[in-house]
């Protein structure tokens, strides 16, 4: 960004809505979505299939006009100033890059020219994007013959070519194998650290949010249902403060009954038994009653009962549990 463009929110969505169709077939794909993303933030845009993630991102990047509301990039409305926005935006759309007959090299050079990056500046931009996404080995192979993971990387390379302050990625790790997922997440973290960017990525993979995002916005049926940090979202889980323990099976009162009888316990889940070299272990997850010191109570019960505890851990909360609560209900 040039001087005088230090906008606190690089992205700002104001009551953004998109309706498709008309009459009885009218669909409110996105309804009054409002949020901002500042420099250094990696926002995970999370929601189940059909929640409105891609539609929101298309409006944010200027590819789809909103029915109402507006999207601002670096302080300006993307519909009113599309060129201003496109210069400052990198966008990885859903799926594979267009132009399947081109090679990554010719495609990226073409993208650089379209962006006005010519001569040495263009060559440097392509070289940097290729190095960042590790495309060196496939530069001269037609895009249509590349694996999904490499196609995704070509998409990423074109998105970062002009080093935009705002990066919008629609399911960046979709279709990638676990190694490639890991690699792309590392790439996103590196890009976030490289300074001052605002990054939005959509996903329905919770581990992705935990791995790379500083903030999470959850959308369900077109509406924002949560906007907070991944940790505070997980903390809303009924598993927050739950204790999972493995106990050697023994004669006497069953730990399951003792645990279920604790006033501090709301519920006990029996996770079954497993054979280990040191004998048979039974594993339980005990969910806490609100405001109670469950861990202390379980430790006292274990001591009193003379249980041989193999493992015991306290849970910070489960994102998948909260996600289900927030996005559950009838799908459209
Ligand atoms: N061009 C269109 N015409 C009509 N309906 C559409 C159009 N594009 C999207 N929709 C509808 O809008 C809703 C939101 O779709 P969208 O693609 O934004 O969801 P998503 O959150 O990206 O889902 P996914 O996780 O499956 O990618 C869906 O009900 C979809 O069918
Ligand atoms: Mg989508």
Which residues have a Cβ under 8 Å from the Cβ of 47 and sit 6 or more positions away?
Answer: 53, 202, 204, 218, 219, 220, 327
What DSSP state is assigned to residue 254? -
Q: Does position 123 have pLDDT exceeding 50, yes or no? A: yes
Give distance in angstroms: CA of 194 to centre of ligand 2.
Answer: 27
Residue 113 dihedral angles phi and psi, to the nearest 5°: -60, -45
DSSP string, 184-210: HHHHHHHHHHTSS-EEEEEES-HHHHH
The number of the ligand 1 atom at minimal distance from the alpha carbon of 57 is: 18
Instruction: State if residue 52 touches ligand 1 by the CB under 6 angstroms criterion.
Output: yes
Which residues have C-beta within 8 Å of that of residue 328, sequence separation ≥ 6? none
- Cβ–ligand 1 contact at 2 (below 6 Å): no
Residue bearing the CA closest to ligand 1, atom 3 = 20
Give the ligand whose atoms come closest to the C-alpha of residue 56: 1
Alpha-carbon distances, residue 78 vs 16, 149, 182, 290 (angstroms): 12, 30, 32, 46
Q: By alpha-carbon position, which residue is closest to atom 5 of ligand 1? A: 20
Tell which wins on pLDDT, 242 or 1: 242
Answer for the pair 165, 6: CB distance below 8 angstroms, yes or no.
no
Global confidence as pTM: 0.84
In angstroms, rounded to a whole number, what is the distance separating the alpha carbons of residues 233 and 215? 10
Residue 5 pLDDT level (bands cut at 50, 70, 90): very low
Name the superfamily (CATH) of residues 11-234.
Answer: P-loop containing nucleotide triphosphate hydrolases (3.40.50.300)
Spatial separation of the C-alpha atoms in residues 17 and 33, rounded to whole Å: 7
Q: How far is the CA of 126 from the centre of ligand 1 (A)?
A: 33
Query: Where residue 2 falls among pLDDT bands split at 50, 70, 90?
Result: very low
Residue in 102, 103, 125, 98 with CA at minimum distance from that of residue 113: 125
Ligand 2 midpoint to CA 211 (Å)? 20
Per-residue burial over 277-298, b if 16 or more Cβ lie within 10 Å, else e, is: eeeebbbbbbbbeeeeebbebb
Distant-in-sequence, close-in-space partners of 114: CB < 8 Å, separation ≥ 6? none
Q: What is the CA radius of gyration of the chain?
A: 25
Report the C-alpha gap between 5 and 221 in whole angstroms: 35
Q: Which CATH architecture has domain 243-315?
A: 2-Layer Sandwich (3.30)
CA distance 153 to 175: 12
Segments in the chain forming alpha helices (H)? 53-60, 82-88, 104-114, 119-133, 148-160, 178-193, 206-212, 230-234, 255-260, 294-305, 319-327
Q: What is the mean pLDDT of the chain?
A: 90
- pLDDT score at 4: 41
Which residues have C-beta under 5 Å from ligand 2, the single-atom ion?
A: 53-54
Residue 43 in contact with ligand 1 by CB distance below 6 A: no
Would the CB of 27 count as within 6 Å of ligand 1?
yes
User: Which candidate, 163, 100, 98, 99, places its Cα nearest to that of 131?
Assistant: 163
Contact by Cβ (8 Å): 95, 157: no
93 C-beta closer than 6 A to ligand 1: no
Could you tell me if the CB of 153 is within 6 A of ligand 1? Answer: no
Give me the DSSP letters along 207-251. HHHHHH-SEEEEEETTEEEEEE-HHHHHTTSTTTT-EEEEEE--S
Taking the CA of residue 51 as reference, the ligand 1 atom at the shortest distance is: 21
- Domain boundaries defined on the chain: 11-234, 243-315
* Two structure tokens written together for 136: 């060196």
**63 in ligand 1 pocket by Cβ < 6 Å?**
no
Q: Is 25 in the pocket of ligand 1 (CB under 6 A)?
A: no
Which ligand number lies closest to the CA of residue 27?
Answer: 1
Residue 1 has pLDDT above 60, yes or no: no
Q: Which carries the bigger pLDDT value, residue 245 or residue 1? A: 245
29 lines ligand 1 (CB under 6 A): yes
Q: Tell which wins on pLDDT, 301 or 147.
A: 301
Query: 324 C-alpha vs ligand 1 centroid, how far in Å?
Result: 20
Give the closest residue (by CA) to ligand 1 atom 1: 20
The pLDDT of residue 329 is: 57
Residue nearest to atom 6 of ligand 1 (CA): 20
Of the candidates 292, 293, 301, 206, which has an alpha carbon nearest to the alpha carbon of residue 284?
A: 301
Q: Which atom of ligand 1 is nearest to the CA of 332?
A: 29
- The span from the CA of 76 to the CA of 128, in Å, is 28
What are 231's strand-pairing partners? none
pLDDT in tens, 55-107: 999 999 999 999 999 999 999 999 999 999 999 999 999 876 778 889 999 99
pLDDT digits (tens, 9 = 90+) for 199-223: 999 988 888 888 899 999 999 999 9
């Amino acid at each position: 960004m040039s001087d005088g463009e230090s906008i606190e929110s690089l992205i700002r969505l104001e009551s953004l809505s998109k309706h498709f169709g008309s009459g009885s077939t009218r669909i409110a794909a996105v309804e009054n979505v409002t949020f901002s993303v500042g420099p250094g933030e990696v926002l995970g845009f999370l929601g189940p299939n059909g929640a409105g993630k891609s539609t929101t991102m298309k409006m944010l990047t200027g590819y789809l006009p909103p029915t109402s509301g507006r999207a601002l990039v670096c302080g300006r409305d993307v519909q009113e100033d599309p060129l201003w926005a496109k210069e400052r935006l990198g966008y990885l759309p859903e799926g594979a890059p267009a132009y399947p007959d081109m090679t990554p090299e010719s495609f990226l050079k073409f993208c650089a020219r379209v962006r006005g990056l010519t001569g040495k500046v263009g060559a440097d931009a392509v070289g940097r994007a290729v190095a960042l996404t590790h495309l060196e080995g496939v530069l001269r192979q037609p895009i249509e013959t590349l694996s999904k993971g490499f196609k995704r990387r070509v998409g990423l390379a074109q998105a970062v070519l002009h080093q935009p302050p705002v990066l919008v990625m629609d399911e960046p790790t979709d279709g990638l194998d676990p190694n490639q997922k890991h690699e792309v997440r590392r790439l996103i973290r590196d890009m976030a650290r490289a300074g001052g960017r605002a990054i939005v990525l959509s996903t329905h993979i919770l581990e992705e949010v935990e791995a790379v995002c500083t903030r999470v916005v959850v959308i369900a049926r077109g509406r924002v249902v949560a906007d907070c940090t991944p940790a505070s979202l997980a903390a809303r889980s009924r598993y927050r403060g739950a204790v999972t323990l493995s106990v050697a099976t023994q004669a006497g009162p069953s730990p399951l009954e003792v645990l279920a009888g604790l006033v501090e316990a709301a519920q006990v889940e029996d996770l079954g038994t497993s054979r280990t070299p040191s004998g048979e272990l039974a594993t339980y997850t005990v969910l806490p009653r609100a405001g109670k010191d469950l861990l202390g109570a379980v430790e006292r019960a274990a001591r009193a009962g003379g249980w041989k505890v193999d493992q015991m851990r306290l849970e910070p909360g489960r994102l998948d549990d909260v996600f289900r609560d927030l996005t559950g209900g009838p799908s459209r």
